[in-house]
Structure formats: C-alpha cells, structure tokens
Structure 1
C-alpha cells in the first residue's frame, strides 16, 4: 500500500521496510524531462526514477519486465525483490541480466544469500522462500561481456524502455554521480531485436 510522504513522494510500506517512490504527477513530470535524454544526478534523480518505474511497471497485471545491469549490489537487488513481492508480481519479471561477479568480488549468489536473509527476517514463511526463488530463477548471466544498463516494460505490442549509463549499484545510486538517462517508447518487436537479441 502506498502512503503519502514528503512532497512529490509516496511510501510503499512492504516487506522489510518502506521504499519511497515518486507520486504519479511527479513521475509524469520527470519522464518528460528524460524523453529527449540528458545527464542527471544519480541519488536525487536517477535512483528515484528507477524505483518508481519499477513499481509502476510491476503493478501492471499483464506486464513483462526486463532488467539489465552488469553490476548490482544487495540493496538494489533487495528492492527489486521487495517491489515485486509487494505487487505480487514475481512472474512479471521476465529476465534479469547481471554479470556473475556483480559487486566487486561478490557473486550474484552471494547477493541472493544476503537478500534472502534480510527478507526472511521479516517473513519466514515457506511461501515467501518459494516466491523469492521464482525471482532468482529469472537472473541470467549472458556469458559475454556487457555494459548495457536498461529496464523495459512490455505490454502487448508496446515497450517502454528506461536507458541509463548508471549501474543499478550504490556507486551510482547512493551519490550524485552524473549519468545519462533516456526514456523511450517503442514496439515489442523493436525492443526484442535491438535490446534483447544482442544479449542472448
């Protein structure tokens, strides 16, 4: 459930604590800012946009969401899982492309162990474990060097794509690192051919 927070934000009160996202009006304004692309600050702009889009997309009942980042840390992985769990959208994550060594010396399995422990401290049920495992099953190391960072929501024949130079990682999201961002809409076919096929 979302609650009103500070101006422009609302709070998702889910498993493991609150997550702040932009409200609908603010999100619409911010997407207008990035429709032509540009350079933006990580902590103040890109990170809240990332969380807000992820929450919006996973709330759609018929969506398929793709996440791509070579580098990922525990906090961002936990937020992906928590937002999916909150929206009962475990099956709406289509693929999550991440390098095997995704957080310096830590592997994706190290992150999974940490995130599972954090979430299980709030919900120890077997159902929760099963739901987490269904999300983890979507994680793919494409077996080739990649440095692309984007998220996409496919609904029917349309695709919304959030493209950035920022890794889904604290080194880009917890400080005001300057990175490029663009939000585009395209066809499902174009997205699959131009974004997914090079990875697969």
Structure 2
C-alpha cells in the first residue's frame, strides 16, 4: 500500500476528474470513503455501475449494495446515505487505474458540466453570479482607470479570478504582498472551479517587505483551511484531499517587484486588472482607496508587457 502522503496525492488526482457534481474522498487506511451532498447521488452511482459492470457482480441486501468490479476489490454503496466505500486487498490499484475512468463515464449523459463546486465553498466566498455579474463590476471602473474603495477592489479581485477560473483560462496573480486570507480565498476559488482546465501562477517575493517568508504564509493558510467549518453542519469546509489538490496546482513564481495586477488569457484574448492595492488585509480590510484599471488586449501583448518583464515565461499548458 502507498504511504499516507502518496495516498493523499493519488486521491487528489482522482478528485480532479470532472464530475457533474461535487464528490469528496476520505482515506481511512484500509478503505476509501466517497461522499457527496448531491441529493440523487445513489441514483447516479447505480446508473453508472449498471452501465459499466455486469449485473451478476452486484449483490443487494437491505440498504447495502455490494459490487465486485475486480478481484480483491469491493464497492459498498449505502442506498440510504449515499456513501460509497471502496476496500479490498487491491483497492488502491483499482482506484488509481480504473476509478477516474468510471467517473468520466458519469459525464456521458451530461451535455455540459454544470457548476460542480461544493455550494458551501461558494457561500463562504460570498459569490453569487445571479446578483453580481462580473461585467457589472467592470463597467463601474472609469475608462482609463480611476480611484476605487477597498471593498470594491476586493469584490472585483474575487469575481474576476472566479470568472477566469470558470472558463478555463490561464491566470496570473502578481503582488509583492499577499496575506494568508487572500491565499486561503485563492485556494477556495481553485477548488470551486475544479475540472474547468484553468491554470494559475502566483508571482510574489520569497520574502515580503515585512520580512515574512511566503512558505510561512502558505502554512498559515493551510491551517485556516483545516480549521474553517461550515456554519450549518460544522463540518470542515475543505477536506485534506481538496486542500492537497489546490496546493499542488498553484504554480508559484518568486520575484522581487512592487507592482500589483491580475491577468488572464484564453486563446488570443487577454484581460488585465491593475491596482495600487496589495492583495493584503492592509488594503482590503481598511478604509483604503487605490488606483484601478481594467484592460483588454491580445494575449501576445499581455505576455510581452506584463509577464516577460517580471521573468514570468509562457508555460506550455
């Protein structure tokens, strides 16, 4: 059996498989538990297994369905709770080799993947696209830029990143000063958009102007994710598997500079939001006013004028 650290990495990779709704994985050592808040998860699992596996491999007794997809591998589905348990001598090998394909088959009947994010994460981020369209925020910025309040800058910072992640763009966050709360929010935004194919690079100094190392900020953000609970159920907002996936998929580029912007491109089109505000509580949690400017341009122009001067080379995603 792989080590605990290796198992966490493997489950994070499996969790990254696009699904029509949010799933979560928990490593219990001799078994892996798969859960979902989706109301009809049992129906989805049953339809999926009936399509992929012969009926003779399935046995049902009361509320429990047991399936043997491979030698020394058992799937146990509780029809009442929707909890799926995977166990057996070869369950890890089967999970790694076969389960992502099983999940991908679950998308066959879906014309386009809906927002599969955990709704508790969306609520925590206070993002509601029906109430606050990104374009409405962009339209509030004066042409050519202007001065805006801290709360507006925080809202558009989150909303633009969320919008870019949601469409599978290549995203850059550039700031000389980022705190653990902004990093925590960034991880949540990543988790919310799992499966869209986005890529994210954070450019920030290895040690900020306050003498704090970025590695320490990461550790504090990790502890925040472990401690944060959902208001209603008091369960962890982010599981170890989701947290591992987010941390593995954040590309970090250390460089010394004093500029702040977020940018993204997809195909030949790019967007850039520049500001004098650091992505830090000193600018976002106080009655602060900062310059802002929103620009659209060709991807090549954005790379040439904003990324290359900072030593951020184009990555072949």
TM-score (ref. length: structure 1):
0.82
Q: Structure 1 residue 153 and structure 2 residue 264: aligned?
A: yes
- Larger C-alpha radius of gyration, 1 or 2? 2
Deviation of the 1:86 alpha carbon:
1.2
Residues 57-81 of structure 1, C-alpha deviations (whole Å, 9 max, x = no match): 11113x1001100000010010011
* Structure 1 residues 40 and 170, CA gap change in structure 2 (3 angstroms): same
Task: Quote how far apart the aligned CAs of 1:101 are.
Answer: 1.9
Q: RMSD between aligned alpha carbons?
A: 2.3
> Residue 58 of structure 1 aligns with which residue?
165
Q: What is the correspondence of 1:135-174 to structure 2 with a 5 Å cutoff?
A: 135-136=249-250, 138-142=251-255, 145-174=256-285
- Shift of the 103–92 alpha-carbon distance from structure 1 to 2, 3 Å rule, reads farther
**1:31-51 per-position Cα deviation (integer Å, ceiling 9, x unaligned):** 1122421001112x1111111
- Contact map agreement 1:98 1:141 (CA 8 A) in 2: yes
Q: Does the aligned pair in 1 maintain the 2:187–2:243 contact within 8 Å? A: no
Unaligned runs of 5+ in 1: 2-11
CA offset at residue 117 of structure 1?
Answer: 1.9
Query: How many Å apart are 1:19 and its aligned residue?
Result: 1.1
CA distance in 1, matches of 2:203, 2:159: 20
TM (norm. structure 2) is 0.53
Question: Cα–Cα, structure 1 residues 103 and 113, in superposed 2: closer, same or farther, change >3 Å?
Answer: farther
Do structure 1's residue 85 and structure 2's residue 191 form an aligned pair? yes
Q: Deviations over 1:71-104 (max 9, x none)?
A: 0001001001111111116962332101112372
> What runs of 5+ residues in structure 2 fail to find an aligned partner?
1-20, 22-118, 228-235, 312-317
